[in-house]
């Protein structure tokens, strides 16, 4: 987990996750957009208005306790 991006949006490819990412981008909050399919998360992020100005990373993570615990460390 990157300490410079303290917000993790797990499920960023879904409707609510996309809205959260739009809000974070609007207020210049660095974030990690995470989901089970990194390609799908990237596709959704490309449709967020102004996303090219955001400080964010896309992460693929398995839906299990170990992987999610690692993702959320430091958040």
pLDDT tens column, 22-44: 999 999 999 999 999 999 999 99
The pTM of this model reads 0.86
Compute CA distances 31 → 27, 66, whole Å: 11, 21
Q: Is 72 left (phi over 0), alpha (psi -120 to 50) or beta?
A: alpha
User: What is the per-residue pLDDT across 4-21, written as a single tens digit (0 to 9) for each?
Assistant: 778 999 999 999 999 999
Number of residues that this document lists for the chain:
75
As a whole-number percent, the residues of the chain with pLDDT over 90 amount to 75
């Amino acid at each position: 987990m990157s300490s410079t991006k303290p917000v993790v949006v797990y499920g960023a490819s879904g409707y609510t996750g996309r809205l959260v990412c739009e809000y974070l981008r609007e207020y210049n909050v660095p974030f990690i957009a995470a989901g089970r399919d990194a390609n799908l998360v990237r596709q959704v992020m490309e449709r967020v208005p102004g996303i090219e100005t955001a400080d964010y990373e896309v992460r693929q993570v398995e839906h299990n306790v170990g992987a999610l615990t690692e993702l959320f460390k430091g958040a």
